[in-house]
Chain A
């Protein structure tokens, strides 16, 4: 199968490979996988106080298309708000990288990874708000 130019570019020089600190409250981590092919993808985002994504990193074990899809995904979400990032669809990735039909599941994985990272961040944040709310409560007479 002939790979398109953009896939090869992202595959040979993947952008934003690496990890962010999972325990940082401003970092959301999404780990997703495809059981059929065994590919696994970790995508992490870091946001500022306005919920804008200031950094994104990924680590993917999989085929060239999976690596290219996640590399492109990190490039696209940087600078976006969480809501904006959620509007990215796997079909956008398919179009940009000209993925062949058998590799569409790789783009699905990248979209799932973005969603999982955002969901993780939101869960973390709501936990913090609860903690903050608890802290704010009068401590009572104990």
Chain B
């Protein structure tokens, strides 16, 4: 997962001929880019390699730079067509940003790019996890109806810790998903299972009322 900009030769701005970091638009002269038809790879839009590690601060800075280029009020003043193009680029950019900034969505996306199964294709989780989820949902329901703020807070802390420890494994698991052959398939399966588990913890956390009584 260390190849840089897979499949995309260095691109140059058609207006000012300067190299462009992103197909979204030219940060030098402000010309809008032309995206190929179909889905555009989120990493490529930000000029990033297909890697799990992402510098969030740099990602945000790049979002701001590119957002200025494709802002419909800036780019769209020339013609309605330009405005239309700017709107499309802007929405692609924001979609890609949302995917890349969240580690779970990012790992999910890398798994998808590597041809791995989706959560509905493969629901596997470690044995006993579902029974545990069931028990935790019961506990959350009881504590919510009983107005037991202390129980809710401790459930929240516990679940957040489980989610964190799941997320801490993602970087290592992503490493194994593009290995050729059987090993890669097992690697994708392992990442799928880890992401499924994280989804259960996240979902349980959402069940805990935000304003748990104190």
Binding site for B on A (CB under 8 A): 31-38, 40, 42, 59, 61, 105
**What chain A residues lie within 8 Å of B137 (beta carbons)?**
40, 61
Interface of B is mostly: helix
Q: Is the CB of A31 within 8 A of B134?
A: yes
Q: Is the CB of B125 within 8 A of A35?
A: yes
Are A37 and B130 also in contact (CB < 8 A) when A61-B137, A105-B120 are?
no
Contact residues in B for A40 (Cβ distance below 8 Å) = 130, 133-134, 137
What is the minimal beta-carbon distance from B163 to any residue of chain A, in angstroms? 12
* Given known A40-B134, A61-B134, contact A33–B125 (CB-CB < 8 A): yes
Docked pose: A103 CA to B49 CA in angstroms: 37
| Measured CA separation A33–B196 after assembly (Å) | 10
The reply to whether the CB of B173 lies closer than 8 angstroms to some CB of chain A is no
**Cβ contacts under 8 Å, B120 to chain A:** 34, 36, 105
Please determine whether A36 and B199 come into contact, CB atoms closer than 8 angstroms.
yes
Contacts of A32 in B (CB 8 A): 123, 130
**B138 closest partner in A (C-beta):** A61
Q: Which residues of B are found within 8 Å of A38, using beta-carbon distances?
A: 133, 199-200, 202-204, 206-207
CA A40 – CA B204 in complex, angstroms? 11
* Residues from chain B with Cβ under 8 Å of A35 in the complex: 119, 123, 125, 195-197, 199-200
